[in-house]
Amino acid sequence: MTWKHRGVALTGGLGGGLGALLAATGRLGAALAVLAVLLTGLLLLVLDLRRRQQVLWHHSRSVQSSVQAAGKATTESVLALGESLRSIGESLDNRVAEVSEQAARAQEQGRVLQQSVTDLGRRLDAVAEEMAVGLAGTEDRVSTAVASAQQEPRAALLRRLEERHQELLDAVSGSSEAAELKAHMELVRRLSTGPSAAGTTANRPTAAAVLSVVELIEQHHPEAVLSLGASNAAMWVAEALRTAESARLVVVDDDEHAVSGVARFLHERGLTGRASARHAPLTDVEVAGEPCHWYDTQAFTDLEGVDLVLLDGPAAGAGRFARYPAVPLLQDHLSEHALLVLFDVSRLGASATVTRWVHHHGLVVQRALAGDALLLTREGAG
């Protein structure tokens, strides 16, 4: 009780006693006045107590609201902290997975490098053997020339020696094994990794031809690539497209084993998001009223705007003109500036096939590529 309340109570007590005294002495009016004042004071006291009670109640509600708000804020903070910890955990898991993938890729690159070194050794042995044979033959011819020096004028002898020297240089620099080795090493240098040098099919394109295709990709940046044939060329192209976010590759072949090999390669290298391998058996098709044997066209129904076509199949066993249907049957699936690369240009029927493409289907021969390949474009594409 406050001093104010105590004062009112004391005053009420004194007023009550005074009223009783006045009533006892016969002064009833004065007693009633005193009682009225007393009642007024008591009423004021009651009203003040009521007001204080309401203030205390409101204060209590305010404190309760503050406590509830603090509790809610604390709960939200705890939930936010839990979410942050969960995000950190997921980030750590992703980082661990990324590091594991990088480690696996590094291991695979090591395997490819080891395979390349092994192949390099074998090819160097082959080149050395070629050089030895060439040197031996040249040595014999030089010996013969020296032996006949007394019968020939000096100028004629020097001319013959220069000819033999040039033959030796041509034998070394023109070695197909040396050219293939150089192209394969350049592919490994550019792409860091790739398929083994053995490839997947007997009619695989040469490393020089594959390198020409990789250079075309680096120059023209195709968005959609189609490989007819599941060979090592398709694998190298998949690696070349790894850094092109929007580029896609579809590989089609009638050989289920070759398709499985490419699909396994794409899975192991983490390329299934941008490349796929499809099996399309050879079926009877008709081109301009002419019966042909080619891939089942159902494998191409979803393709459109193809920018680069690798003509690496069907294999030679399917017939001399097995690759001819590709251009007339794929015309509607190609982009306006599509590039077409024909491999194995020297094989039987290839020249006649190109002639028909040019005369009847509007293709233009742009240039020969290294490794027995040919670059063609649609007429007007340049």
Instruction: Output the CA torsion 62→64→68→70 (10° steps).
Output: 70
Q: Are residues 309 and 205 in the same domain?
A: yes
When the pLDDT of each residue in the chain is averaged and rounded to a whole number, the result is 79
Model pTM above 0.85: no
Of 125, 146, 177, the domain-final residue: 177
Q: Is residue 164 over pLDDT 70?
A: no
Q: Phi/psi at 59 (nearest 5 deg)? A: -65, -40
Q: Are residues 222 and 114 in the same domain?
A: no
pLDDT value of position 271: 92
Q: Is residue 42 part of a domain?
A: no
Per the structure, how many domains does the chain have? 2
Q: Is residue 13 part of a domain?
A: no
Q: Is residue 86 part of a domain?
A: no
Q: Are residues 330 and 264 in the same domain?
A: yes
Q: Is residue 300 part of a domain?
A: yes
Q: What is the pLDDT of residues 291-347, one digit of tens each?
A: 889 999 999 999 999 999 999 989 877 777 889 999 999 999 999 999 999 999 988
Element (H, E) at 286: strand 282-287
Q: Are strands 290-295 and 275-279 parallel, antiparallel or unpaired?
A: unpaired
Q: Are residues 173 and 218 in the same domain?
A: no
pLDDT value of position 355: 93
Per-residue pLDDT band for 169 (boundaries 50, 70, 90) equals very low
Q: Are residues 159 and 212 in the same domain?
A: no
Q: Is residue 349 part of a domain?
A: yes
pLDDT value of position 212: 94
Cβ-based neighbours of 220, under 8 Å, separated by 6 or more? 307, 308, 339
Q: Tell me which residue range forms the domain holding 161.
A: 105-177
Of 177, 203, 221, the domain-final residue: 177
Max Cα-Cα span within the chain: 182
Per-residue pLDDT band for 147 (boundaries 50, 70, 90) equals low
Burial annotation 331-369 (CB, 10 A radius, 16+ → b, else e): eebbbeebbbbbbbbeeeebeebbebbeeebebeeeeeb
Measured over the CA atoms of residue 309, residue 346, residue 211 and residue 194, the dihedral's sign is positive
Element (H, E) at 337: strand 334-343
Cβ-based neighbours of 319, under 8 Å, separated by 6 or more? 293, 349
375, 216 in Cβ contact below 8 A? yes
Q: Are residues 275 and 354 in the same domain?
A: yes
CATH code of the domain covering residue 228: 3.40.50.150
Q: Is residue 90 part of a domain?
A: no
Q: Is residue 342 part of a domain?
A: yes
Q: Are residues 126 and 258 in the same domain?
A: no
Q: Is residue 201 part of a domain?
A: yes
Measured over the CA atoms of residue 340, residue 341, residue 346 and residue 348, the dihedral's sign is negative
Q: What is the pLDDT of residues 41-58, one digit of tens each?
A: 777 777 877 888 888 888
| Nearest Cα residue to 176 out of 119, 131, 127 | 127
